[in-house]
């Protein structure tokens, strides 16, 4: 075990059960010396006056119809114009600070958002003014796709250009962590609890053997974006395998089911569904929509549903509205017993897992082994040029091979640089 731990800090990477065969094809970056961590997130409104400006920020140049913005504004309006996401990120920042301190790692945590205050360009300028020269970004987004990976990297690239800090301030990014045990284990725990709850309710209603289905929900994205999210390594390549976004979700769903109910069959006992579609109706997005899928299940005789928000890191508006409000309502109408399991949020294992991934990249306290619970990962530290393409034109980007903006040290084959511990510790 090469990881150096200090009192109080727990490394999820030391959990032997979490080890799966790594994918040696994906490059890892050289460990570097960092001055600070940048917790990068989506951002959300903090009052009624913020709602429209926030929505304009989110959809700038993305062709989202006005009716959709109007509809989404109500989700926020009904909550006082407040998204829960900023409070959740403040809590995550505090939890990261505590875990870093517990491990004796002296890295400040800065927080910046793509779409709301504190805005990333301001945070980068402040970081530079405070004397920082190299930051490591951790985003609140686990999977590969334009919206969940590249857009974060572009927003840093644009901010470096806009502030004139390109070449003066380097920003690297930890890998997408969809299959890191720190992200997955909280879902396993939550799914098990929700399943027991739904079964208990059905039993109390006199139908203990009624069929229960686990629905893994994630954000729908345009199918074109899904296809551009990077290829899976599996052969033969079905559509799912062509799209890393879909393949990653399916693989994690399988891992969760293997842990809570190994006999579960995809399609019958669990499925991957999509929520929060926007965009023009004629543009194809990933399907089925969760509400349509619920209706089909009810039709086929399912009596209980566990909804697992597999695509999300915290219980923000997309979870509270699309799942806890809309999907819950759909279930009520269909007579389905419903429970929604939690997101990782500030689960101690999630926080420890993020710090482990920080340690994968730092010279000090370096963690050489990179746990991954699916054979798709551990995902790459530095993206391929053009991966998760922006179809609206190229922008400066960080953490990508071949880029000149804020370029980090590049990649080398994982096999030569990771002391991967398989099954042992």
Q: Residue numbers of the site for ligand HT9 (CB under 6 A)?
A: 42, 44, 55, 58-59, 62, 64, 68, 72, 83-85, 140-141, 145, 147-148, 219, 221, 276, 278-279, 311, 316-318
Cβ contact 291:311 at 8 Å: no
Angle at 85 between CA 275 and CA 342, to 5 degrees: 60
- Closest CB to ligand HT9 belongs to which residue? 278
Query: For residues 346 and 313, what is the distance between their CA atoms, to the nearest angstrom?
Result: 9
Of residues 6 and 62, the one with the C-beta less far from ligand HT9: 62
308: which strand partners? Answer: 216
- Whether residue 73 is annotated as binding a ligand: the answer is no
Of residues 139 and 365, the one with the C-beta less far from ligand HT9: 139
Of residues 68 and 197, the one with the C-beta less far from ligand HT9: 68
Largest pairwise CA distance in the chain: 67
Query: For residues 188 and 323, what is the distance between their CA atoms, to the nearest angstrom?
Result: 18
Q: Cα dist. 50→55, 68, 279 in Å?
A: 9, 17, 22
Cβ contact 139:40 at 8 Å: yes
Of residues 87 and 264, the one with the C-beta less far from ligand HT9: 87
Of residues 276 and 374, the one with the C-beta less far from ligand HT9: 276
- Give least dist CB 64 to ligand HT9, A: 5
Cβ contact 104:33 at 8 Å: no
Residue 314 falls in which region: left (phi positive, over 0), alpha (psi -120 to 50) or beta: beta
- Give least dist CB 205 to ligand HT9, A: 34
- Whether residue 34 is annotated as binding a ligand: the answer is no
- Of 273, 304, 330, residue with least CA distance to 211: 304
- Give least dist CB 59 to ligand HT9, A: 5
Alpha helices in 300-409 (DSSP H): 317-321, 328-334, 348-361
- Whether residue 416 is annotated as binding a ligand: the answer is no
Query: For residues 253 and 216, what is the distance between their CA atoms, to the nearest angstrom?
Result: 7
- Give least dist CB 220 to ligand HT9, A: 7
Cβ contact 3:14 at 8 Å: yes
- Whether residue 152 is annotated as binding a ligand: the answer is yes
- Give least dist CB 1 to ligand HT9, A: 33
Cβ contact 231:242 at 8 Å: yes
- Give least dist CB 385 to ligand HT9, A: 21
Angle at 66 between CA 61 and CA 67, to 5 degrees: 140
- Of 317, 249, 282, residue with least CA distance to 77: 317
Of residues 322 and 381, the one with the C-beta less far from ligand HT9: 322
Alpha helices in 215-243 (DSSP H): 223-227, 239-242
Of residues 35 and 225, the one with the C-beta less far from ligand HT9: 225
Radius of gyration of the chain (CA): 21
In Å, how far from its chain's centre is CA 54?
21
- Give least dist CB 409 to ligand HT9, A: 25
- Give least dist CB 317 to ligand HT9, A: 3
- Give least dist CB 92 to ligand HT9, A: 13
Of residues 148 and 232, the one with the C-beta less far from ligand HT9: 148
Half-sphere exposure of 273 (CA within 13 A, CB side): 29
Of residues 10 and 148, the one with the C-beta less far from ligand HT9: 148
- Give least dist CB 47 to ligand HT9, A: 13
End-to-end Cα distance, the chain: 6
Structure tokens at 384: 């391929």
Of residues 128 and 152, the one with the C-beta less far from ligand HT9: 152
Cβ contact 98:92 at 8 Å: no
Q: Which residues are annotated as a binding site?
A: 83, 152, 219, 318
Q: Which residues are annotated as a binding site for Fe(2+)?
A: 219, 318
Q: Which residues are annotated as a binding site for Fe-coproporphyrin III?
A: 83, 152
């Amino acid at each position: 075990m090469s990881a150096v731990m200090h009192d109080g800090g727990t490394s999820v990477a030391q959990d032997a059960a979490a080890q799966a065969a790594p994918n040696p094809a994906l490059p890892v970056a050289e460990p570097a010396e960092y001055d600070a961590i940048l917790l990068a997130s989506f951002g959300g409104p903090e009052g009624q006056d913020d709602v429209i400006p926030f929505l304009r920020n989110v959809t700038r140049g993305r062709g989202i119809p006005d009716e959709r913005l109007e509809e989404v504004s109500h989700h926020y309006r009904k909550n006082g114009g407040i998204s829960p996401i900023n409070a959740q990120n403040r809590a995550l920042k505090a939890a990261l600070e505590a875990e870093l301190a517990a491990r004796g790692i002296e890295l400040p945590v800065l927080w910046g958002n793509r779409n709301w205050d504190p805005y990333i360009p301001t945070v980068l300028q402040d970081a530079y003014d405070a004397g920082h020269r190299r930051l490591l970004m951790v985003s609140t987004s686990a999977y590969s796709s334009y919206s969940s990976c590249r857009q974060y990297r572009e927003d840093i690239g644009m901010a470096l250009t806009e502030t004139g800090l390109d070449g003066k301030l380097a920003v690297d990014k930890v890998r997408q962590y969809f299959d890191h045990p720190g992200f997955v284990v909280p879902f396993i725990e939550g799914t098990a609890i929700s399943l027991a709850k739904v079964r208990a309710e059905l039993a109390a209603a006199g139908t203990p053997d009624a069929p229960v289905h686990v629905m893994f929900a994630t954000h729908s994205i345009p199918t074109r974006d899904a296809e551009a999210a990077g290829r899976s390594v599996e052969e033969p390549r079905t559509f799912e395998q062509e799209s890393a976004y879909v393949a990653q979700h399916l693989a994690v769903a399988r891992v969760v089911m293997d842990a809570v109910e190994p006999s579960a069959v995809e399609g019958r006992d669990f499925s991957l569904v999509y929520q929060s579609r926007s965009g023009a109706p004629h543009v194809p997005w990933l399907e089925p929509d969760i509400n349509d899928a619920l209706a089909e299940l009810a039709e086929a005789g399912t009596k209980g549903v566990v909804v697992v928000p597999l695509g999300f890191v915290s219980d923000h508006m997309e979870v509270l509205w699309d799942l806890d409000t809309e999907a819950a309502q759909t279930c009520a109408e269909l007579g389905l017993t419903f429970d929604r399991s939690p997101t990782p949020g500030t689960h101690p294992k999630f926080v420890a897992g993020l710090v482990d991934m920080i340690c994968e990249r730092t010279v000090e306290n370096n963690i050489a082994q990179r746990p991954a619970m699916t054979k798709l990962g551990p995902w790459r530290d530095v993206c391929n040029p053009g991966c998760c393409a922006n179809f609206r034109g190229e922008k400066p980007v960080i953490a990508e091979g071949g880029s000149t903006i804020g370029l980090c040290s590049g990649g080398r084959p994982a096999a030569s640089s990771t002391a991967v511990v398989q099954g042992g510790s």
